[in-house]
Amino acid sequence: MEPSLASRGDRGGASTGVFSNRIEREQLVPGDHIYSWRSACIYAHHGIYVGDGMVIHYTGAAGQEIGTGTFVNRIFSISSSPWRNSTPVCERCGVDQSRQNGVTKSCLDCFLAGFNLCLFRYSVTPAFFITQARGGTCTLAVSDPPEVVLHRARCLLGNNGFGTYSLFNNNCEDFAMYCKTGLLVDASSGGATRSGQISSLAAAMTLVASSPLGFLATGGGGLVVAGAMYSISRYLSDISIRWDVIKIPVETLVAQLPTGNPGAAS
């Protein structure tokens, strides 16, 4: 029997901590934002646990899920797919996993695809956030009540959409974080993803591109400065800090889905 929705809030789970966000299946309750690392922990796939061993998540069909079409996108798009088997029709789900795309519903086994189960944490402290050097595991943002989270996820599932899938602008982590918070980047601001994974990657790439090799090779002091710059950049990219993030009702978002731009609300 799953714990009641009323008993939940922004919790980390009994087995989560600084070094791991792993969680056992029996600890899950509806409304949890969960994820699993894929491809040697290069990328994580995210979704919303809705109860009865089922997960609503956002994925792209092979060959059409990525808007930019880069080599990196193709690698990550394989990681985001819940299907890895030669027999894609799941007895638990009763659907062909290889043909699922957009906002979809799968059993927990198909969602995890053999990888570990982790819980995404909300309302963490700035200190905890910084200790999680890798993005896509937590946020300072506050989660809405579980019943609101489930309403958003089910509404987007029923309308089969969350805009056009793009690894760098509109991915599975963005979907799960929207379900939990209702927050989207205002498209008129020119802002990019809310995803912690991509924000961390961008912070690392910016640091390398803007720092002369001599600066990075100055020993311990240089590494400390580089680490501080990376942490500050990640912190300022969090959805609870950004100035270009707005809260959008799911009904408004659904009405705008034909435009393919979930951040277009004014």
Q: What angle do CA 137, 141, 146 make, to 5 degrees?
A: 85
Q: What are phi and psi of 44, to 5 degrees?
A: -115, 145
Q: Which of 57, 93, 110, 179 is catalytic?
A: 57
Say how far apart CA 160 and CA 254 lie, in whole Å.
Answer: 9
Say how far apart CA 222 and CA 217 lie, in whole Å.
Answer: 7
User: Which token pair is 101?
Assistant: 């795309």
* Catalytic residue list contains 57: yes
Query: Do residues 155 and 251 touch, judged by C-beta distance below 8 A?
Result: yes
* Catalytic residue list contains 45: yes
Query: Do residues 182 and 144 touch, judged by C-beta distance below 8 A?
Result: yes
Q: Which of 93, 107, 138, 172 is catalytic?
A: 172
Say how far apart CA 225 and CA 10 lie, in whole Å.
Answer: 32
Looking at residue 231, the DSSP 8-state letter turns out to be H
* Catalytic residue list contains 33: no
With a CB cutoff of 8 Å and minimum separation 6, the contacts of 212 are none
Say how far apart CA 96 and CA 89 lie, in whole Å.
Answer: 4
Going by C-alpha positions, the residue among 55, 136, 66 that lies closest to residue 97 is: 55
SS3 content of the chain, % helix, strand, coil (to 5): 40, 15, 45
| Distance set, CA 60 to CA 153, 166, 216, 222, 244 (Å) | 17, 8, 38, 40, 26
Q: Which of 33, 45, 110, 138 is catalytic?
A: 45
Q: Which residues are catalytic?
A: 45, 57, 172
